[in-house]
Amino acid sequence: LIKIQECEEIIEKYESAAQEKGSDYQALMDELSKAKIQAGLVPMEGPGVVVTVNNLFISDIDGGQIVQSVHYEDLLKLVNELNAAGAEAIAINDERIIATTEIRNAGDYIVINTNRHSVPFEIKAIGNPDNLEAALKLLGGVVDHLGEILDIKIKTVDKLVIPGYDGIINYKFARPLQDKKS
């Protein structure tokens, strides 16, 4: 298993060596920094939205309560809508969403990055707050439909902090394609 911490230690060694060799390696360092950001490995900050998703309790005719529960599909729909609206970094309950993130049901919990979570769910997304909010509140859109069965609150904020991914990235079968010259 390849652990993020082990990779970061290797990167630090390369960074130290490159800095000692001078500015010839600055372009390489810049590319490395960009790659780490795009992979979701570093914390990010910026403006955006906070979406709180909770179960909805509805009174029935007999005076009892019916609970409408949050399902993993609901979170996926919200994350997809935020991505489509230009979100640059997303986290659910401080679990950074990256390409390999799983969001799935596991009993009474929803698992995100192999960690169990339950309501309420707090989705943070960095991007243009007005665009993100407008996409979520679109008439007939995701929140319009989910708002009928869940308690959803949306708040725009000037500064959010989203953590970097700190889980395990493990490739057993996939490897980079070797470029073959013809």
Tens of pLDDT, residue by residue over 153-170, are 999 999 999 999 998 888
pLDDT of residue 167: 87
46, 126 contact by CB (below 8 A)? yes
The residue that leads in pLDDT, 125 or 168, is: 125
> Helices (H) and strands (E) in the chain — how many of each?
5, 10
- What is the number of residues in the chain? 182
- Residue 106 carries which side chain, given as an amino acid letter? A
The rounded percent of the chain whose pLDDT value lies above 90 is 62
pLDDT of residue 22: 61
Q: How many beta carbons lie within 10 A of that of residue 82, not counting itself?
A: 27
47-104: pLDDT as tens digits: 999 999 999 877 676 767 667 799 999 999 999 999 999 999 999 999 999 999 999 9
Query: Residues with Cβ < 8 Å from 167, sequence gap 6 or more?
Result: 4, 113, 114
Q: How far apart are CA 52 and CA 54, in angstroms?
A: 7
The rounded percent of the chain whose pLDDT value lies above 70 is 87
The residue that leads in pLDDT, 41 or 169, is: 41
